[in-house]
Amino acid sequence: MTKKDHRPFNLTLEKASEIIGKLQKGEVVSDCPCGETHQLKPRIETPTKWQPPEKDYKGRIIVLEAVFDDSDIQTDYWSPDRCLERWYLCEVQKPITEGKLRRALEILPKWLQGYTWTYRKGEKYSMSDHYYGQLRSKESTGLSVKKLASYGGDRAVEFLIDITFLDHFEMNDTVNQPLPESLDDIKKLIEDKERNEEERRKRMREKMNEAQAKTIAQSTAVIDGRGFHILTEQEKKEEIVKLQQKELERQKEEDHCIHGYAKDLCMICLEQQKEKEKPKSGTLADYF
């Protein structure tokens, strides 16, 4: 009913209560004194138990993410929530609210429900990484990644509950992946990913060295400190040997610590690692 055809009507308190009761039950109200027919749209609640998305569903979903801060201030690289792994939780309908995100917490395993989750309001701009808002775990997991960060260093792993689209999610993740049953599952996940990353980098270095050696073997001339000159076969062999020796030295540095021992056998490094892993008491003695 628009303002143009507005007309006064009598509505008693009893009639208003009756209409409200019918609307709350999802019934159609056709005897309203205003002369209009009313019915509330059915409210779609966020599920509290895991269930796969409906067939042909392409809307928004709630996901659990394990993330780490991959930013680097020296290179001005910004990636505060680089995703380590994602798990599908449930579908979600607009409007996206904190309450709907918190209902999804009931789908999580008990050990994750025990975390304190703080709400971060959505920031709606083109480069926002949390357009609809998210829940973030307040406690530290005590886990970190060492070989996955773009610029190295230990990066702490955290959990968050976020919103994405199902078709975007399925580009790199699967809906039926089981949720982690304990923190040990996350620890194993990190170990597997770091091992795979190390193997990937090793294969990449091998291919680069093979390509460089092939380029040297196929070259006919070079410009170096002596200027332009034709390469002899002996010079090519010497350059390839230098390349191989350089790679062996790099591997030795990578496999050994600063004390010259194998990283997993150096007692000094092992003791230093134990000290880092000791729980802090929160007093000044921790730092002296």
Query: What pLDDT does 2 receive?
Result: 47
pLDDT digits (tens, 9 = 90+) for 121-136: 888 777 777 788 899 9
pLDDT digits (tens, 9 = 90+) for 145-174: 988 888 878 899 999 999 999 999 999 999
157 or 7, higher pLDDT? 157
pLDDT digits (tens, 9 = 90+) for 276-285: 666 655 554 5
pLDDT digits (tens, 9 = 90+) for 57-99: 889 999 999 999 988 888 888 888 899 999 999 999 888 889 9
Residues 166 and 274 both lie in one domain = no
Residue 183's alpha-carbon distances to 33, 72, 112, 143, 186, in angstroms, are: 60, 27, 9, 9, 5
11 touches 68 (CB < 8 A): no
Task: Give dist(CA 244, CA 26) in Å, integer.
Answer: 76
The yes-or-no verdict on residue 115 having pLDDT over 90 is yes
Query: What pLDDT does 188 receive?
Result: 95
Q: How confident is the model over 103-130, as a mean pLDDT?
A: 87
Residues 20 and 140 both lie in one domain = no
| Nearest alpha carbon to residue 69 among 165, 139, 145 | 145
Query: What pLDDT does 254 receive?
Result: 67
175 touches 143 (CB < 8 A): no
The yes-or-no verdict on residue 288 having pLDDT over 90 is no
| Nearest alpha carbon to residue 230 among 215, 242, 239, 220 | 220
The yes-or-no verdict on residue 260 having pLDDT over 70 is no
Query: What pLDDT does 65 receive?
Result: 96
pLDDT digits (tens, 9 = 90+) for 13-61: 888 888 788 777 778 888 888 878 877 665 556 666 787 888 888 899 9
Residues 158 and 228 both lie in one domain = no
The yes-or-no verdict on residue 193 having pLDDT over 90 is yes
Q: Is residue 264 part of a domain?
A: yes
Residues 150 and 67 both lie in one domain = yes
Residues 185 and 113 both lie in one domain = yes
At 256, list the tokens.
């050994």
Residues 69 and 168 both lie in one domain = yes
Residues 76 and 162 both lie in one domain = yes
Residues 68 and 128 both lie in one domain = yes
Residues 28 and 67 both lie in one domain = no
| Nearest alpha carbon to residue 101 among 113, 119, 81 | 119
Residues 75 and 135 both lie in one domain = yes
The yes-or-no verdict on residue 7 having pLDDT over 70 is no
CA Rg, the chain, in Å?
A: 30
Task: Give dist(CA 63, CA 160) in Å, integer.
Answer: 8
pLDDT digits (tens, 9 = 90+) for 211-256: 988 998 899 988 878 788 888 899 889 888 988 888 888 777 766 5
Residues paired with residue 165 on neighbouring β-strands, in sequence order: 60
Residues 173 and 76 both lie in one domain = yes
110 touches 190 (CB < 8 A): no
What is the total count of domains within the chain?
A: 3
Q: Is residue 128 part of a domain?
A: yes
Query: What pLDDT does 265 receive?
Result: 56
Task: Give dist(CA 158, CA 206) in Å, integer.
Answer: 34
Query: What pLDDT does 143 receive?
Result: 92
Domain limits at 262? Answer: 220-278
Query: What pLDDT does 32 receive?
Result: 82
